[in-house]
Amino acid sequence: MTASPGASSPSPETFASGWRSIQWWPGAFGLAFAAYLSIDLLNGTEHGTDFAAIVAASGLVYLAAAALEIPWVAWPVFLLTVVVITVARLNLIPLDAMGAMLVAAGFFAACGMVRALRRPNRNLPLQAIAMFLFGGSAALALFINHVVGALLVAVGLAAHAGWDVYHHVKNKVVVRSMAEFCFMLDIALAIVIVIATLRG
């Protein structure tokens, strides 16, 4: 994905600033979380498509922060998605995690549009498009061949990792700690999904 029309490309100074801003603990946390999620994937009890909701959740976190124009809100929304996905995976109550993500995305998009009536929100349209693409690809992965679906989930996660890098460098929409955490989670989980899927 690319920046919105007219947006300038990050300069070398911007990249240097982004590198210096790396806090390391969010990345370590993201890598540890990916390792935890990968256990059942590597031992064969879960399939790559079981992680489709995480792709949708990644887009939702950014959409929520953009809609409310509060970068730190990305963290509580992320924690909420973890609860939803965990409840769905453990079958604690009848809950469709993917459906819940899409409903939440609609809610935040509506909130953002209402707020935009009073004050323009330049980030909302791009994040809404991103949510549509990430959420749509994640939902599609659930209705196609398991191997292709798993690889589609991995591609979605890898693409979102690039989205994380862009927002970390530009320091926009979400706090940098979230972008850093999400990058490591996305890229590590994408790699494991590809390995587990090709291994059969």
* 3-state per-residue secondary structure call for the chain: CCCCCCCCCCCHHHHHHHHHCCCCHHHHHHHHHHHHHHHHHHCCCCCHHHHHHHHHHHHHHHHHHHHHCCHHHHHHHHHHHHHHHHHHHHCCCCCCHHHHHHHHHHHHHHHHHHHHCCCCCCHHHHHHHHHHHHHHHHHHHCCCCHHHHHHHHHHHHHHHHHHHHHHHHHCCCCCHHHHHHHHHHHHHHHHHHHHHHHHC
Give the pTM: 0.86
Per-residue pLDDT of the chain (200 residues), as tens digits, is 334 434 455 556 655 555 566 777 989 999 999 999 999 888 878 888 999 999 999 999 999 999 999 999 999 999 999 999 999 888 878 889 999 999 999 999 999 999 999 989 999 999 999 999 999 999 999 999 999 999 999 999 999 999 999 999 999 999 999 999 999 999 999 999 999 998 87
Q: Where are the domains of the chain?
A: 17-38+48-199
